[in-house]
Amino acid sequence: MKTILMSKGARTIVEVCAGVQPNEQVLIVTEPKMMNIAKSISAAVVAAGAEPTMAMMPPRTSDGQEPPAPIAAAMEASDVFISAVYTSITHTSAVRNAVDAGSRGIMLTQFHDEMLIEGGVHADFKAVEPICRAVANALEGANEIRLTTPHGTDLTLSATGRRSNAMPCMVKPGEFAPVPTVEANVSPIEGSAHGVIVADASIPYIGIGLLDEPVTVKVEDGMIVSISGGKQADMLAENLASKNDPNVYNIAEIGVGLNPNCKFIGSMLEDEGVFGSVHIGIGTNITLGGNVKAACHYDLIMTKPTVVADGKVILKNGEVLV
């Protein structure tokens, strides 16, 4: 019964999100603990008349670590690649190179069986696409973006000359999308961000998940200079320090969640998609239009944001106004 229930979500991912066509070559990248998801996706690929190939790899030791070279090459050669892994490979050169070669990518990081049965994957992606693209257009190339929240966030950054990314969970050749996190984002100019970030909702990485208390991050010249709060803030600070890579402190992204079916559950791709939320990505930004490759990419998620780009109000207290 559970397999049947999962199949509906899997077919949505394959047919709607990836747009798989008959006779296409679809690479499914996975790891042992994600086999249920990978098998459901593979069955949906067969049902669509395409040919699935499953590439199993050992779990990466940290988010953002490159997949093995043969898998990276297979991603680049595929019509579609679907990453069903627990430890993220989203922000890697392998993904960037695959989409640059014209493949279409779907990222299912930390997916579990229930996420195929209910939640964000069952949103009407075609209906939310116009909103997603409108928010992305408002962010693109903005000279000044200011983010504030009632919880204390007050961050200013610049996206001058930077492309934005509309990610409505439906991809064309040369695009990738995390599913089900419908979002619009932009990677700010390195060194431009300054102010304070107060994450009050979630940091869905390294076992943190839903926040018990706010995590406060101070930013100067585009880099994190301090992290404070409680035990979860200490977990983030200690993890970043352990990377021995100054680039992990880079302010990499401002993203707006736009999936009305997503809820905060402590899982990366559900939490980041919650409609009207904002996340600030830190670390790697090479897949988003930036120039920094770091040892990781994490997102700090907040609620009730107000976002103003070059004087235009995009969100006000979490309500989308474009």
Q: According to the model, what pLDDT value does residue 82 have?
A: 98
Q: Which of 270, 168, 259, 149 is nearest to 209 (CA)?
A: 270
Q: According to the model, what pLDDT value does residue 62 have?
A: 86
Q: Which of 94, 121, 118 is nearest to 105 (CA)?
A: 94
**What does the radius of gyration of the chain's CA atoms come to, in whole angstroms?**
18
Q: Which of 14, 301, 261 is nearest to 149 (CA)?
A: 301
Peptide bond into 180 cis (omega under 30): yes
Q: According to the model, what pLDDT value does residue 252 have?
A: 98
Spans of the chain, pLDDT less than 50:
none
C-alpha distances in angstroms, 285 versus 76, 185, 265, 322? Answer: 20, 11, 25, 25
pLDDT digits (tens, 9 = 90+) for 163-220: 999 999 999 999 999 999 999 999 999 999 999 999 999 999 999 999 999 999 999 9
